[in-house]
């Protein structure tokens, strides 16, 4: 947000003066991520994850585009062309391992980013639009990751595609024609692989576009902060550069260290061995599991094992799985508590940590075979998941008595704020 005290861009070098007159790009950058953008001074490391997500997107775009130069989207050779990248293309193994582990890193970072939002109430007014665009990005990321996983045309690629596109078949009446239309056939084959490649190339750029809107929307109110109290005076803020460029630098270095430790020393740890077996429509793997970042939702899908009145179990699972994410769109309106940050919401906070554990349990069950006791555990865990968002959040926000808030960010940081003695508390 351009608070009244935001510094103005004053180029000194003649070349920059010249450029600023013709195309005020330097001014734009200065006001977006430079000294011209005042940001709350008390952001903790959880506010690093947005920048890290942007970095992951860049890693995926760069490695992905080079991979696409060597990959062939043809069911006859897709698997072999992936192996060709791993063996014959210069540094191809590094590109591929960076891209595969980059997808995982992206989801780790985005889950942290989303759960930061849950805890600190980042989705609340005036930041609803940032949040809505964020959920949209998350949906696009899931679609992109799913289609990317199909490309190497291994066993899990094929069977994963078959199971997930099969979900559309659960929709009454239009389901089956829709599924056939989406796949271009009755089962994943050449037509499906080719269109998945095309879309997998396209969607990251759509994500990039939505990210730009996301950050634009962010710059209107500016970032929230761990207290959830809005910025009041200049002493509540610091200029983005150098303060947060420096802090983001720390987060980035730590992130890259962990990411490359995975890429170089455990590049297949998160993958499934079956995807090193070429796709074979005649042989079903013992356990079809998606990549780890889909496990919580996969557990919800499989938790519905019995028909519910007239609704078949499979359709219930599909409805539930999509609702589990779509409910996030409603969050700004379900949570009516005027207090943003979970730090000042004692009851909410307990349920928040219960949700974190619940999602981890769901994730574990989603990766496990579809057998007892995992199914029963995921039924209980899925129940809490729905109760949390649909019931606990609205009810708690209506009845909870929050703790007293600090007067301002400055007071929260320094213990006192001169402005508080002048202006009456809100």
Contacts of 237 (CB under 8 A, 6+ apart): 3, 5, 38, 39, 40, 41, 231, 409
Listed residue (113, 114, 345) closest to 228, CA to CA: 345
Is 247 designated active site?
Answer: yes
CB contact at 8 A, 156 and 289: yes
Cβ 235 to ligand HEM, closest distance in Å? 19
Structure tokens at 281: 């429509």
* Residue carrying the six token digits 């010249």: 18
Phi and psi of 127, rounded to 5°?
-105, 20
- Which of the listed partners (ligand HEM, other proteins, none) does 61 bind, with a CB threshold of 5 to 8 Å by partner kind? none
Cβ 238 to ligand HEM, closest distance in Å? 15
Q: Which of 122, 157, 235, 410 binds ligand HEM (CB under 6 A)?
A: 122
* Catalytic residue (one of 84, 219, 241, 349): 219
Structure tokens at 298: 């996969």
Listed residue (339, 328, 267, 299) closest to 95, CA to CA: 267
Is 219 designated active site?
Answer: yes
Measured CA to CA, the distance from residue 351 to residue 134 in angstroms comes to 23
Determine, following the binding rule CB under 6 A, whether residue 47 of this chain makes contact with ligand HEM.
yes
Q: Where are the alpha helices (DSSP H) in 292-400?
A: 295-303, 313-334, 346-367, 374-387, 393-399
Determine, following the binding rule CB under 8 A, whether residue 169 of this chain makes contact with other proteins.
no
- Return the C-alpha torsion angle 353, 355, 359, 360, nearest 10: 20
Cβ 201 to other proteins, closest distance in Å? 25
Phi and psi of 153, rounded to 5°?
55, 45
Is 248 designated active site?
Answer: yes
CB contact at 8 A, 165 and 188: yes
Piece of 67-75, 319-327, 341-349, 418-426 that binds other proteins (CB under 8 A): 319-327
Listed residue (242, 243, 191) closest to 43, CA to CA: 243
- Which of the listed partners (ligand HEM, other proteins, none) does 62 bind, with a CB threshold of 5 to 8 Å by partner kind? none
Q: Where are the alpha helices (DSSP H) in 190-312?
A: 190-218, 245-265, 295-303
- Which of the listed partners (ligand HEM, other proteins, none) does 308 bind, with a CB threshold of 5 to 8 Å by partner kind? other proteins
List the interface residues with ligand HEM, window 344-383 (CB under 6 A). Answer: none
List the interface residues with other proteins, window 213-252 (CB under 8 A). Answer: 238, 242-243, 246-247, 249-250, 252
Would you give the binding string for other proteins spanning residues 268-287, x where CB under 8 A is met?
x----xx-xx--------x-
Q: Which of 69, 173, 306, 425 binds other proteins (CB under 8 A)?
A: 306
Determine, following the binding rule CB under 6 A, whether residue 50 of this chain makes contact with ligand HEM.
yes
Question: Quick one: three-class SS letters along 229-243?
Answer: CCCCCHHHEEEHHHH
Structure tokens at 103: 């997808």
Determine, following the binding rule CB under 6 A, whether residue 255 of this chain makes contact with ligand HEM.
no
Piece of 19-27, 116-124, 347-355, 407-415 that binds ligand HEM (CB under 6 A): 116-124
Piece of 80-88, 109-117, 397-405, 418-426 that binds ligand HEM (CB under 6 A): 109-117
Determine, following the binding rule CB under 8 A, whether residue 320 of this chain makes contact with other proteins.
yes
Measured CA to CA, the distance from residue 201 to residue 194 in angstroms comes to 11
* Catalytic residue (one of 104, 122, 223, 224): 223
C-alpha distances out from residue 197 to 105, 144, 149, 217, 289, Å: 21, 10, 10, 31, 21
Determine, following the binding rule CB under 8 A, whether residue 111 of this chain makes contact with other proteins.
no
List the interface residues with other proteins, window 358-417 (CB under 8 A). Answer: 371-372, 375-376, 379-380, 382-383, 386-387, 389-391, 394-395, 398, 413-414
Question: Which parts of this chain interact with other proteins (CB under 8 A)?
Answer: 41-42, 80, 83, 86-87, 93-94, 97, 238, 242-243, 246-247, 249-250, 252-254, 256-257, 260-261, 263-265, 267-268, 273-274, 276-277, 286, 303-306, 308, 311, 313, 316, 320, 323, 327, 330, 333-334, 336, 371-372, 375-376, 379-380, 382-383, 386-387, 389-391, 394-395, 398, 413-414
Q: Which residues belong to the active site?
A: 219, 223, 247-248, 291
């Amino acid at each position: 947000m351009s608070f009244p005290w935001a510094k103005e861009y004053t180029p000194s070098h003649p070349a920059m003066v010249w450029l600023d007159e013709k195309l005020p790009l330097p001014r734009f950058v200065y006001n977006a991520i430079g000294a011209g953008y005042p940001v709350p001074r008390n952001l903790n490391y959880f506010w690093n994850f947005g920048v890290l997500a942007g970095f992951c997107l860049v890693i995926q775009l760069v490695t992905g585009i080079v991979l696409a130069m060597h990959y062939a989207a043809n069911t006859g050779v897709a698997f072999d062309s992936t192996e060709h990248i791993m063996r014959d293309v210069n540094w191809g193994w590094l590109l591929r391992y960076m891209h595969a582990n980059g997808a995982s890193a992206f989801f780790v970072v985005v889950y942290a980013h989303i759960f930061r939002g849950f805890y600190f109430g980042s989705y609340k007014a005036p930041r609803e639009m940032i949040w809505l665009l964020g959920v949209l990005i998350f949906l696009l990321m899931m679609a992109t990751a799913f289609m990317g996983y199909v490309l190497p045309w291994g066993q899990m690629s094929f069977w994963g595609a078959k199971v997930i596109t099969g979900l559309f078949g659960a929709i009454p009446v239009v389901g089956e024609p829709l599924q056939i239309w989406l796949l271009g056939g009755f089962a994943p084959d050449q037509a499906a692989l080719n269109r998945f490649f095309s879309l997998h190339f396209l969607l990251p750029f759509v994500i990039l576009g939505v990210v730009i809107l996301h950050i634009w929307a962010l710059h209107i109110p500016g970032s929230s902060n761990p207290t959830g109290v809005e910025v009041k005076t200049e002493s509540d803020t610091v200029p983005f550069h150098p303060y947060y460029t420096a802090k983001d630098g720390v987060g980035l270095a730590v992130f890259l260290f962990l990411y490359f430790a995975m890429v170089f020393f455990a590049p297949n740890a998160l993958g499934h061995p079956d995807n090193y077996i070429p796709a074979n429509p005649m042989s079903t793997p013992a356990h079809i599991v998606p990549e780890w970042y889909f496990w919580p939702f996969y557990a919800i899908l499989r938790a519905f094992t019995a028909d519910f009145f007239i609704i078949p179990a499979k359709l219930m699972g599909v409805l539930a799985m999509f609702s589990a994410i779509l409910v996030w769109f409603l969050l700004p309106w379900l949570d009516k508590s005027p207090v943003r940050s979970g730090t000042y919401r004692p009851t909410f906070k307990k349920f928040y940590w219960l949700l974190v554990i619940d999602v981890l349990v769901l994730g574990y069950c989603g990766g496990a075979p579809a057998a007892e006791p995992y199914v029963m555990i995921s039924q209980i865990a899925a129940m809490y998941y729905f109760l949390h968002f649909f019931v606990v959040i609205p009810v708690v926000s209506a009845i909870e008595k929050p703790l007293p808030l600090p007067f301002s960010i400055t007071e929260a940081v320094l213990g006192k704020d001169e402005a508080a003695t002048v202006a009456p508390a809100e």
